Amino acid sequence: MNTGTAGDEQPSLIEYPSDFPLKILGNTQPGFAQAVLGVVKKHAPDFDEATLAMRTSKKGKYLSITCVIRATSREQLDALYQELCDHPMVVMVL
């Protein structure tokens, strides 16, 4: 039985390089989009910010940012997800 411990390496289901969509959700607040863009460009420097899409929730409390990066490795995606999830302005990353 796999308990998901740190030593377990699961095979990747993604073939690299690959276009990979990310949806980042946070509270609507000044600087959120810029903060997310900074993290994304740190891990995917070739990301074209013109392709970034933003959408506010119905009641205006949340902002979702969708971007499609060119993923080059599992390590790249893991580091990007980790940094986004650890960011204090980010509520959720899908």
Q: Please tell me the least confidently modeled range out of 9-13, 14-18, 40-44.
A: 9-13
- 19, part of any domain: no
- 4, part of any domain: no
1: pLDDT strictly greater than 80:
no
CB 84 within 8 A of CB 36: yes
State mean pLDDT over 1-24: 75
- 6, part of any domain: no
What's the CA gap between 71 and 19, in Å, rounded?
A: 6
State mean pLDDT over 61-67: 97
Domain residues for the domain of 72 are: 28-93
- Give how many domains the chain has, as a whole number: 1
Where is pLDDT greater, at 4 or 42?
42
Read off the tokens for 80. Answer: 């990007």
The 8 Å CB, 24+ separation contacts for 72-75 are: 72/16, 72/17, 73/16, 74/12, 74/14, 74/16
10: pLDDT strictly greater than 80:
no
- 16, part of any domain: no
Task: Kindly state the greatest CA–CA separation across the chain.
Answer: 46
CB 38 within 8 A of CB 84: no
Read off the tokens for 19. Answer: 């276009």
Q: pLDDT tens for residues 17-62?
A: 999 999 999 999 999 999 999 999 999 999 998 889 999 999 999 9
